[in-house]
Structure 1
Amino acid sequence: MNRSQNLLRLQEESFDICIIGGGASGTGCALDAALRGYKVALIDRKDFSSETSSRSTKLIHGGVRYLEQAFRNLDLAQLKQVRHGLEERHIVLKNAPHLARPLALLTPVSSWLEGVYFSIGLRIYDLFAQQDSLPKSKWLSKKEVLNRMPTLDPKKLHSAVLYYDGQLDDARYCLALAQSAYREGTVLANYVSVVGFEKNEQGKLLTARVRDELERRELSIKAGLFINCTGPFSDEIRLMANPALPTRIRPSKGVHIVLPKEVLQSNDAMLIPKTSDGRVVFAIPFGNELLVGTTDTEYQEIDKEPVLNKTEVRFLLDTLTPFLATMPRPEQVKAGFGGLRPLLSADPRKATKRLTRDHEVEHDLGSNLVSLLGGKWTTYRLMAKDTLDEVEKLLGQENPCRTADHILVGGDGFTTESWKEISTSYGLEESVSRHLANRYGSQASKVADLIREDAALGEHLLPDYPFLKAEVVYAAREEMAVTPRDILARRMRLEIMDWAGTLSCLPTVAELMAPVLGWTQSTTRQMVEEYGTYLTNVRREAGI
């Protein structure tokens, strides 16, 4: 994906559809539109998945909490959300098997009655998911639970209910969607922000005036239709297109902390069903670490990146502590992150944690802008389908949606044994081969080719992590990574796992990127200083 060439095409060509926003919904819409035969452009004011889509709990699920609320409150909207999520779950797993896989989750219970309650609920959950092949839920004895998760407190544990959902690397899955859309003809670029629109005499959008945030220059993109897929920032684009529109989005902040995986000593995840704020919290293995979250609070400072604070760290540690034999300590927190949910609400008095994660496709008759509002990661494909179905009605077309069976870049030909071919062909050790196969799928050979050309690129960036120097070069050449944070936060995910480790290898990453992107020594130094300052401030805010 060559950014310079794409920027030139964005300015010189006209498009059927221009999509604003490069998260899950935007890249999902781009792929769907391209597969239906449209000429598509896609832009994002930052990097692909740099906001909400890289800051999820990394689960592909229908939502156990939504199911409970549906029955408790007789809420059909929540029930529909569960059904949609479970229908889409198997598609997300199937279409990118190198980036998404089944995950076992344990729900500890403290009494026989509590066990019956959760067993019934999860059996209903299974019934909604009859079309996929994940194992069904079952009730485990105390001994079975402690064999799977030995750090739980045996004094408080009666038993646990085991069930399955899916897990994904959200940022890399979004990148695979962008790559797949690009493969189907989409012209896309990151770090391109919309600053205004040009309209015809009737007020319909003709052109988006945009700014290249790296080169600090403006250009125009012509399209027959514009789709707004900017998540929590949707109102900004909606009001830019038509100032008379009412606001629709209520952003909600959710945070996660990252602890050493040894805190659970398990490959299973844990669902904590009781929290002081009425939510559920997950403790999930991710890479070599343990991801714990999330919270749900109103967020008004939409222009500021949400970050982890000391109070939130304490809340998540306090939520996890009652279930463990040994109390996790604040100094064990290695990293964390905050994200915004693009919640829809017609009632400003309703708490964000009570709002459904459903989506809506809005067509503004005044400007002709189509906006995809709300939603969640699991249903990104359905959200895109609903959006393009609405676009087809507006354009008088009837092209079928083809995304349900479209394998994403890296997923074609991938199997759990793919690492063996890499190991044999390139003479790489098993751990390196597995790492490459599980991140790049069928594209892993392209990273391995770089190591064959230069053995030094086979070196690890850090001794305790599998990331290689070759991955930095590959991301800058092939994955449109243009800043060190693009690589460390989203291509590699190190930022969300280990802040100290990220700071440690930051200079090396910048030095590897410099010759690929033509940076001067001054630019390279500036990149290191800016990102290093950001990470230092984030650690201070979290009290780490």
Structure 2
Amino acid sequence: MSTTQFAHNSKLTAASRAAALDAMSDSEGLDILVIGGGVTGAGIALDAATRGLRTGIVEAGDWAAGTSAWSSKLVHGGLRYLYNLDFKLVAESLRERGLLLNKIAPHLVKAQPFLWPLKMPVIERAYSAVGIGMYDAMAFAGARGKKTVPAQRHFTKKGTKEIFPDIKNSVFTGAIQFYDARVDDARLVVDLVRTASGYGALAASRTQVVRVNKDAAGKVIGATVRDLETGTERDIKANHIINATGVWTEESEALANEDTGLKVLASKGIHIIVPRDRIKATSGIFTMTEKSVLFIIPWQRYWIIGTTDTPYHEDIENPVATEKDIDYVIMQANKLLENELTRDDVISTYAGLRPLLQPKLKSGSETASTKVSREHTVTEVAPGMSAIAGGKLTGYRVMAEDAVDFALGGRAKSKPSITENIPLVGADGYQAALASSEKIAQKHGWTSDRMDSLFERYGSEISEILALIDSYAELGKPLAHAPQFLRAEVLYAVRAEGALHLEDVLIRRVRLDLEQTDRGLSSAEEILAIMAPELGWSEADAARELELYGQRVEAIAQAQTRQTDSEATGLLAASGHVAPRVELS
């Protein structure tokens, strides 16, 4: 089965959202209702829909609005877990990495080299070579003998400097280069939801579950959801509910049962963004820190540097990087960089919360977040409702398979998962489309960088972008204040990718929130002019969108000058929200 054989439309729009809510609340009911539109929930929706189950998925915010948009943007086996002897987790992750690179999302997921700097010339090189050699061998085995990324390479001090000229001479004697992969995490989620929708899943963002409904025997039979765009409530009947809400897991579980389910520990990780020309290198770097790991990851126009791993107890909807967090990441990066970074080099920052499984203890001292397992667990919350938590982005497909198997119980054997063979939108026909790159570039006068950007975002769906431009030439023009993106990309975000608000476009579709110091605010009016006619907005509606986004930009700027999470989070929470979640009692 391929994306060209969809029985349904894979485009997410305001109209498709309204139709999905109508269909979910009809008398037929659902086989599976998924709560949570991050990578895990989106993966579950695709898994369930491709097994022929009538599936609905709801998300209280935008798709990928929580943790899934704020990762290190890596699809990786987890080399550090190998050094913790967690062979099963690494092998599974490497297999999934291979599937994403070669079959599921080759347009989104790209092989990325990293240097592991060595401080001791013999002993460290020997044991690191063995470790990375196992990493390569496990990847090869997981791909059934097919090579997914290049094997490790060893470099002398001189060779390392040729690849990474800006590395400090005092911190290394040589290096080993290994490969993992990078991905636009939010776009992966959007494409998962779109693909699920193409196979019949009913998808509604900005829709919050406010009650879980049970029959007289205590079995969960559905949920009441509130459309946060309109304030209206609907009842959805479902044979089984799967809770995949990440750091909101316990809050969602409590709607059905306060005493049973999974307990998660929220751990905050932050990253900083610096300009691509600020660090002279052609490879990323990976190293251990005393608290976590440090990745310096090259993207087309910038570097992503992180991360931290600290327990978090504040408002889970509004994590933000504090001054202390930013200084810590800069300090760790500067241990490696000859031309040291300063705060003035930072374009932007972002923060996310990892939902880490924690032993189900009601009292006692807090477990250090770095020691909590990253492996996932599925459990029953109440008859007719289960929850899944833990894991990491790379393993979303396995998590989804386990969650649906659990929901189906004995029926799972007759309805096995097939997502291993399901390409996401943009993947089917990607190589054929890529072959036309030069012809497209010549026709439109686009650079190779522009073509790389378009193909890595849309894959074979570049034909959809080109069709928009053919229908109205103005859409082929770059955004005035962000020429790395075309006007057509904004329109496509609304017409196909489920963007309902200005922040949806700037934060998770055309990700200027990451790339510009003003987080895309200078492009907001031009973007609003494209969005407003599509969404039927009045001048007042557009002005409100601009005001709310401006409040967010200012709140984050102020939060980054605060030392503590409580101070920083409070500033962001006080800014406006386009469709705030309902506070559950």
Which TM-score band (shorter chain)? over 0.9
**Does structure 1 residue 383 correspond to structure 2 residue 393?**
no
**Superposed displacement of residue 396, structure 1:** 6.7
SS at match of 1:97: coil
AA of the residue aligned to 1:109 = L
SS at match of 1:81: helix
Q: Which residue of 2 aligns with 1:345?
A: 358
**Does structure 1 residue 86 correspond to structure 2 residue 99?**
no
Q: Deviations along 1:386-428, whole A, 9 cap, x unmatched?
A: 1112222155762121111111110001124342353367665
Q: Which residue of 2 aligns with 1:217?
A: 232
Alpha carbons of 1:359 and 1:396: their partners in 2 closer, same or farther (altered >3 Å)?
closer
**Does structure 1 residue 206 correspond to structure 2 residue 221?**
yes
Q: Which residue of 1 aligns with 2:3?
A: none
Q: Which residue of 1 aligns with 2:4?
A: none
Q: Which residue of 2 aligns with 1:490?
A: 508
- Please provide the CA RMSD for this pair: 1.9
SS at match of 1:489: helix
Q: Which residue of 2 aligns with 1:186?
A: 201
Q: Which residue of 1 aligns with 2:544?
A: 526
Q: Which residue of 2 aligns with 1:299?
A: 312
Aligned mate of 1:96, from 97, 105, 112: 105
Moved more, 60-69 or 312-321: 60-69
**Superposed displacement of residue 472, structure 1:** 0.8
**Superposed displacement of residue 308, structure 1:** 0.8
Aligned mates of 1:434, 1:122 — CA distance in 2: 30
SS at match of 2:514: coil
Q: Which residue of 1 aligns with 2:376?
A: 359
Task: Check conservation: 1:419, 1:436, Cα contact below 8 A.
Answer: no
Q: Which residue of 2 aligns with 1:414?
A: 430
Aligned mates of 1:468, 1:321 — CA distance in 2: 35
Aligned mates of 1:320, 1:437 — CA distance in 2: 31
Aligned mates of 1:435, 1:490 — CA distance in 2: 15
Task: Check conservation: 1:21, 1:45, Cα contact below 8 A.
Answer: yes
Aligned mates of 2:351, 2:379 — CA distance in 1: 27
Task: Check conservation: 1:426, 1:452, Cα contact below 8 A.
Answer: no
Alpha carbons of 1:367 and 1:354: their partners in 2 closer, same or farther (altered >3 Å)?
same
SS at match of 2:100: helix
Q: Which residue of 2 aligns with 1:6?
A: 20
Alpha carbons of 1:453 and 1:429: their partners in 2 closer, same or farther (altered >3 Å)?
farther
Task: Check conservation: 1:10, 1:41, Cα contact below 8 A.
Answer: yes
Task: Check conservation: 2:221, 2:239, Cα contact below 8 A.
Answer: yes
Q: Which residue of 2 aligns with 1:437?
A: 455
Aligned mate of 1:228, from 233, 237, 243: 243
Q: Which residue of 1 aligns with 2:116?
A: 107
SS at match of 2:485: coil
Moved more, 14-23 or 462-471: 462-471
Q: Which residue of 1 aligns with 2:573?
A: none
SS at match of 1:129: helix
AA of the residue aligned to 1:331 = D
Moved more, 505-514 or 37-46: 505-514
Aligned mates of 1:302, 1:363 — CA distance in 2: 26
Alpha carbons of 1:439 and 1:304: their partners in 2 closer, same or farther (altered >3 Å)?
closer
What is the number of equivalent residue pairs in this alignment? 534
Q: Which residue of 2 aligns with 1:509?
A: 527
Aligned mates of 1:193, 1:515 — CA distance in 2: 27
Q: Which residue of 2 aligns with 1:160?
A: 175
Q: Deviations along 1:154-211, whole A, 9 cap, x unmatched?
A: 3433111100111111111111111110110001010000000221011111121111
**Superposed displacement of residue 368, structure 1:** 2.1
1:131-170 counterparts in 2 under 5 A? 131=141, 132=143, 133=147, 134-170=149-185
**TM-score of the superposed pair, with normalisation by structure 2:** 0.88
Aligned mate of 1:283, from 296, 321, 336: 296
Q: Which residue of 2 aligns with 1:373?
A: 389
SS at match of 1:495: helix
Aligned mates of 1:528, 1:410 — CA distance in 2: 31
Aligned mates of 1:267, 1:398 — CA distance in 2: 49
AA of the residue aligned to 1:324 = L
**Superposed displacement of residue 506, structure 1:** 1.5
State percent identity of aligned pairs.
33
Aligned mates of 2:210, 2:454 — CA distance in 1: 39
Aligned mates of 2:320, 2:92 — CA distance in 1: 30
Aligned mates of 2:168, 2:414 — CA distance in 1: 58
Q: Which residue of 1 aligns with 2:348?
A: 335
Aligned mates of 2:92, 2:448 — CA distance in 1: 38
Aligned mates of 2:443, 2:421 — CA distance in 1: 30
> Which consecutive residues of structure 1, in runs of 5 or more, have no partner in the other structure?
71-77
Q: Which residue of 1 aligns with 2:568?
A: none
**Superposed displacement of residue 460, structure 1:** 1.5
Aligned mate of 2:339, from 326, 347, 352: 326
SS at match of 2:479: coil
SS at match of 1:104: strand
Alpha carbons of 1:374 and 1:82: their partners in 2 closer, same or farther (altered >3 Å)?
same
**Superposed displacement of residue 79, structure 1:** 2.6
Q: Which residue of 1 aligns with 2:55?
A: 40
SS at match of 2:378: strand
